[in-house]
Amino acid sequence: MPALRECGTYVAMRQVILFNKPFDVLSQFTDRGTAGTPRPTLSDFIDIPGVYPAGRLDRDSEGLMILTDDGKFQARISDPRHKLSKTYWVQVEGDVSEAALDRLRRGVVLKDGPTRPAEAARMCEPPDLWARQPPVRFRKTVPDCWIAITLREGRNRQVRRMTAAVGHPTLRLIRARIGDWALDGLAPGQWRRA
């Protein structure tokens, strides 16, 4: 059910949309790129006027996005000062050691400075995981594994840079949760009202 918000002398309904962004989709409604062929955007999946994404998810990442028509609510979700947790399922190259997970938990130093401590743990491949198109590169001689990482900040490509800093490049990245909102059975390209 949409949330209520005060709007002058009346109460308006706030729209909150949960969307499972597929791989290779831009997290905006228009493609401002210079390529001759337009790339897929949110408008290919969501036809609700007046809603905008609360935060970004890179084109090569998948998973949960929140869209809303409430600017203050949008800023609160996306602003790192509010420390809203974001949980990612990350398929990484190599077999992650406890020492590498400890480095992620303490925070790692990136080119733009140290990260805040994160929650990090090994996990099984997510249940009911959808196939990605194109598939993740598979190499017989290089193992991979899944980890769950929860952050309370949001730098550009932060999860990818953190896993690379501990020697495990990211192969696939899925945002599973933002605060209390979760994917919970949303298939790629599907959305629902929160």
Cα separation of 29 and 41, whole Å?
Answer: 5
Cα separation of 31 and 169, whole Å?
Answer: 28
At 139 the three-state DSSP class reads: coil
Cα separation of 93 and 167, whole Å?
Answer: 8
The CA-based angle 96-177-88, given to 5 degrees, is 20
At 60 the three-state DSSP class reads: coil
Buried b (16+ CB within 10 A) or exposed e, 87-98: bbbbbbbbebee
State the alpha helices, DSSP H only, in 60-178: 71-78, 98-106, 158-165
Q: Which of 31, 47, 58, 69 is catalytic?
A: 58
Q: E strands of the chain, at which residues? A: 3-7, 10-14, 16-21, 52-53, 62-68, 86-93, 109-110, 113-114, 119-123, 144-151, 170-178, 181-182, 191-193
95 labelled catalytic: no
Active site residues: 58
